[in-house]
């Protein structure tokens, strides 16, 4: 495993290393950056990622393993498909650019930035030596400096950087396709530059990022969730490459905001290529990266006893049992000492989701109900409090009027008063609707098969749940649409 991202400062870097313990760091990649930007308010994830803690192993150690990720079979299949696309200097990719996307592909050089420079000055996979990240990034910079001057190059294994919460993270697109021009009708969304080309009635020549994925495109359709995830990851690459060009003093808009997505076609290994417009994702990732708190500030506020040392050794072990430096209880305690901001989206994006969800539910936190509900509650942070306000509990109202985040996080008495008024109105409307329901035969009510009845039952359970712990059915009913957004 490579070394950790560049250090923001000796003291902070040392503290992050101590948080992780004597194990190799996990590095950010486009997938983790995309996930981080989905929940920028979570300090827990920001600290763990900055320290390079293996969250999957941590979740396993505390007894809440993650339940997402690719199967080994899917990973192997994906690697084989990528190898096929990249064989012989990306021959299949070039063919797809020409035939399926109507690109005018010029003569070019193929450069593998992941392989050692040979003694003859050439580079390529044949050299077979993996280059360390700093060297690869430097070579990537030098190569794109030449591309900006007009060199026609197809770059394999480029290594880009992106600032994440004040630290430098490395990201690696599958391939950066050479500077090419579309010749067919229907300009790409990134084709807004290149005045010279436009004056000739041609599409401008842009640099395209190609992403190879193993999910199938069947009859021209792919799983929208997978396409969305690929688009967000690709947006991270586009952003990183644009920032590289900006740092070279070149126009960043040379990088197209359309990415080339290559997938297997139908049920075969035959590839197909599609252009995906990622402008919206670029804007979202860029905005969220800017909003991430600086890691220095987060680390400075941490209790000195916190650590996530996942190391296991045989010293002190009985018989052959491995001896973990930290017990599950110690690791869980450290987790609880860093603020989390659970949202249902975490379930598909963060390895610690099941631990954080249990924690949020046990605390009766409104976060467990999803962002839209939490925002609508206007600073009322607990489900207990929301239920008390809906029931017209005056003491809850006076307690909350002294604090709270306020509507839309604005804080203040006006926000919670308004939220309390809306909750009471919603409770009245609900009660009136229930009163107006035609009385069902006892046999139907007992079976509770009708979806409408079942839905009311779960909401009703929440309203009457005086313990403040969101019941599973109620949370699931509210959270599902949020989780799918
Ligand atoms: S699962 Fe937990 S640590 Fe991960 S982003 Fe959600 S709240 Fe943060």
The answer on pLDDT for 190 being more than 60 is: no
Q: What is the pLDDT of residues 360-381, one digit of tens each?
A: 999 888 888 887 888 778 778 8
The answer on pLDDT for 412 being more than 60 is: no
What lies within 8 Å, CB to CB, of 445 at 6+ separation is 453
pLDDT, mean of residues 303-325: 78
From CA 286, how far away is CA 208, in angstroms rounded? 19
C-alpha closest to that of 379 among 366, 363, 395? 366
pLDDT band at residue 166 using 50, 70 and 90 as cut-offs: confident
**Highest-confidence range of 156-165, 434-443, 446-455, by mean pLDDT?**
156-165
Q: What is the pLDDT of residue 379?
A: 76
From CA 204, how far away is CA 472, in angstroms rounded? 54
pLDDT band at residue 239 using 50, 70 and 90 as cut-offs: very high
pLDDT band at residue 440 using 50, 70 and 90 as cut-offs: low
Q: What is the pLDDT of residue 462?
A: 38
Ligand 1 center to 76 CA (angstroms): 28
Which of 335, 347, 352, 354 should be mutated for ligand 1, with most atoms under 8 A from CB?
352
pLDDT, mean of residues 385-394: 82
Q: Which atom of ligand 1 is nearest to the CA of 356?
A: 2
pTM, to two decimals: 0.69
Q: What is the pLDDT of residue 149?
A: 84
Ligand 1 center to 138 CA (angstroms): 34
Residue whose CA is closest, atom 4 of ligand 1? 350
Tell me if 53 sits within 8 A of 20, measured CB to CB.
yes
The answer on pLDDT for 276 being more than 70 is: yes
Least confident of 8-17, 120-129, 359-368: 120-129
The answer on pLDDT for 142 being more than 90 is: yes
Ligand 1 center to 58 CA (angstroms): 13
Share of the chain above pLDDT 70, in %: 75
Residues in contact with ligand 1 by the CB-under-6-Å rule are 39, 42, 44-45, 340-342, 346, 350, 352-353, 356
Q: What is the pLDDT of residues 245-263, one digit of tens each?
A: 999 998 999 999 999 999 9
Ligand 1 center to 356 CA (angstroms): 6
C-alpha closest to that of 358 among 470, 456, 438, 220? 470
Q: What is the pLDDT of residue 320?
A: 62
Return the axis-axis angle of helices 451-463 and 413-436, rounded to nearest 10°: 140
pLDDT band at residue 396 using 50, 70 and 90 as cut-offs: confident
């Amino acid at each position: 495993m490579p070394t950790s991202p560049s250090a923001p400062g000796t003291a902070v870097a040392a503290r992050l290393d101590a948080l992780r313990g004597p194990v190799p760091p996990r590095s950010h990649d486009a997938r983790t950056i995309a996930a981080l930007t989905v929940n920028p308010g979570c300090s827990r994830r920001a600290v763990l990622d900055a320290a390079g803690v293996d969250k999957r192993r941590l979740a396993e150690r505390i007894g809440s393993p993650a339940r997402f990720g690719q199967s080994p079979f899917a990973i192997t299949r994906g690697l084989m498909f990528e190898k096929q696309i990249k064989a012989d200097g990306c021959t299949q990719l070039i063919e797809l650019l020409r035939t399926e996307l109507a690109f005018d592909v010029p003569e070019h050089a193929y450069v593998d930035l992941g392989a050692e420079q040979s003694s003859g000055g050439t580079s390529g996979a044949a050299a077979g030596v993996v280059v360390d990240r700093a060297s690869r990034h430097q070579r990537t910079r030098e190569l794109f400096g030449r591309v900006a001057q007009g060199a026609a190059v197809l770059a394999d294994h480029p290594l880009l950087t992106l600032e994440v919460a004040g630290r430098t993270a490395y990201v690696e697109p599958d391939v950066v396709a050479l500077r090419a021009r579309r010749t067919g009708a229907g300009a790409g969304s990134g084709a807004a530059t290149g005045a010279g080309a436009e004056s000739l009635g041609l599409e401008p020549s842009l640099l395209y990022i190609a992403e190879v994925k193993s999910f199938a495109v069947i009859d021209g359709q792919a799983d929208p969730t997978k396409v969305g995830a690929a688009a967000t990851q690709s947006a991270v690459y586009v952003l990183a490459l644009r920032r590289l060009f900006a740092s070279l003093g070149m126009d960043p808009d040379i990088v197209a905001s359309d990415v080339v997505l290559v997938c297997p076609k139908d049920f075969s290994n035959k590839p197909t290529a599609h252009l995906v417009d990622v402008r919206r994702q670029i804007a979202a990732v860029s905005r969220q990266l800017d909003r991430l708190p600086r890691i220095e500030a987060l680390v400075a506020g941490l209790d000195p006893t916190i650590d996530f040392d996942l190391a296991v050794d045989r010293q002190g072990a009985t018989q052959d049992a491995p001896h973990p430096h930290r017990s599950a209880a110690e690791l869980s305690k450290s987790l609880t000492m860093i603020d989390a901001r659970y949202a249902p989206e975490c379930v598909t994006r963060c390895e610690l989701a099941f631990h954080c969800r249990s924690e949020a539910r046990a605390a009766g936190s409104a976060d467990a109900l999803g962002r839209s509900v939490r925002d609508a509650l206007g600073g009322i942070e607990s489900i207990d409090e929301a239920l008390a306000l809906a029931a017209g509990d005056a003491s809850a109202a006076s307690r909350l009027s002294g604090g709270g985040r306020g509507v839309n996080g604005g804080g203040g008495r006006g926000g919670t008063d308004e939220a309390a008024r809306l909750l009471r109105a919603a409770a009245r409307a609900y009660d009136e609707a229930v009163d107006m329901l035609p009385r069902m035969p006892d046999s139907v009510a007992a079976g509770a098969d009708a979806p409408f009845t079942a839905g009311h039952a779960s909401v009703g359970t929440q309203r009457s749940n005086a313990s403040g712990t969101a019941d599973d059915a109620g949370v699931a009913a509210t959270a599902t649409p949020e989780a799918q957004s």
